[in-house]
Amino acid sequence: MLAFRRGPYLAWFAATPEDLRAAQRLRWMAFRGGGEEGMDADAFDPRCTHVLIEDQRSGTLVCCFRILPLQGGAEIGQSYAAQYYELSALAAFEGKMVEMGRFCLHPAWHDPDILRVAWGAMTRYVDENGVEMLFGCSSFAGVEARAYLDAFAMLKERHLAPRRWLPRVRAPEVFRFARVLRRRKPDAKRAMLAMPPLLRTYLVMGGWVSDHAVVDRDLGTLHVFTGLEIRAIPPARARLLRGVAG
C-alpha cells in the first residue's frame, strides 16, 4: 500500500469513494477550469488505481493521477490512449505496462516538489509491480499549435518514438508536427519553456512521443502519446527517483 511523506506532502492510493471524488473534483478544476463543485469522471476510473498528493500544511489536495495496469502490449487496446491513437505496434511489447493518466496539479500550487513526489509515487509502484513501460497522453493547454511550434519541432528532432513502437493516426483531428515541421529547427529555450512539466520529465528520463498531436476539443488540449521504457531511464535519474520513493 502506497503511503509516504516528502516534506509537507503526503502521497497515497485512493482507498474510499470520497478519495476518488476528491480526485475527480481536482481534475474538474484543472481540466475544466471550474470550481470545486464539478466532477471530472469517466468509465476508466473504476478500473484504475488513483494516486493523491496532499499538502498537509493546508489539507489541500494538490495533485492526482491514475494508474491503469496492463499485463502487456496485447491489452493496449483497453487503454484510454487507444481511443485517440492507433497502437497496434505496441501490441508486441511483452512486459507489464502502466498507463499514467489524468495527471493534474492544483491551479494555485506551483511547487516543483509536488511533481517530484508524484514521480516518487510512480517509481515505487513501478518497482513493486515489475512494470517495464509507462505510457500516457501528455497535454499542451489549448488547441492552437502555433504557440508550441518550437516545442513540437524539438519533439520531432529529438524525441520521436522508435519506429517499432510508433503510434499511428486514429483521431479525426490531429496536428502532424513531424511532417509539417520537418524543416524547422527549434529554438531550444522557447521549446523548453513551452513544454508541459510532465512531458519534460518524461523526456529527461528517456521518454518518446508520437509523430502527431491529437486535438482534444472536449478538454481543450493538444496531446501527444508518450512512452517510457523503464530500462531506458538513465541510472543517475533512477537513483534520484528511488531516493524520493524510499
**CA triple 242-155-117, angle to 5 deg:** 25
Residue 75 in domain: yes
User: Is the predicted pLDDT of residue 183 greater than 70, yes or no?
Assistant: yes
For residue 86, is it within any domain? Answer: yes
* Domain limits for position 197: 65-105+113-245
- Does residue 135 sit within a domain? yes
pLDDT in tens, 32-60: 886 667 999 999 999 999 999 999 999 99
Instruction: Find the mean pLDDT for residues 3-13.
Output: 90
Span 198-215, pLDDT tens digits:
999 999 999 999 999 999
Structural domain contains residue 88: yes
Distance CA 201, CA 207 (A): 8
**Cβ neighbour number for residue 137 with a 10 Å cutoff:** 29
Q: What is the pLDDT of residues 91-120, one digit of tens each?
A: 999 999 999 999 999 999 989 999 999 999
pLDDT at position 239 is 86
Q: Provide the grid cell at 163.
A: 519506429
**Residue written as grid cell 502506497:** 2
Q: Does residue 180 lie in a domain region? A: yes
Closest CA to 222 of 149, 133, 114: 149
* Residue 109 burial (10 A CB sphere; 0-12, 13-18, 19+): middle
Checking if the pLDDT of 246 tops 80, the result is no
Look at residue 209 and tell me if it is in a domain. Answer: yes
Task: Give the residue from 136, 102, 160 showing the smallest Cα distance to 225.
Answer: 136
Residue type present at position 127: D
Residue 85 lies in a domain: yes
pLDDT above 90 as % of the chain: 85
Nine-digit cell string for 108: 494555485
Q: What is the pLDDT of residue 231?
A: 93
Q: Grid coordinates representing 158?
A: 529529438
pLDDT band at 85 (very low <50, low <70, confident <90, very high): very high
The whole-chain average pLDDT of the chain stands at 94
60: helix, strand or coil: strand
Predicted local distance difference test score (pLDDT) of residue 1 = 53
In a domain, residue 77? The reply is yes
CA 99 to CA 209: how far, in whole Å?
14
**Residues forming a β-bridge with 12:** 3, 52
H helix runs in the chain, sequence order: 17-27, 112-129, 149-158, 177-180, 188-194, 197-204, 235-245
Q: Report the predicted TM-score, pTM, of the whole model to 2 decimal places.
A: 0.94
CA-closest candidate to residue 237, choices 116, 69, 96: 116
Mean pLDDT along residues 218-239: 93
- Helix, coil or strand: residue 159: coil
> Do 36 and 21 form a contact (C-beta atoms < 8 A)?
no
Q: In total, how many domains does the chain have? A: 1
Quick one: pLDDT at residue 3? 77
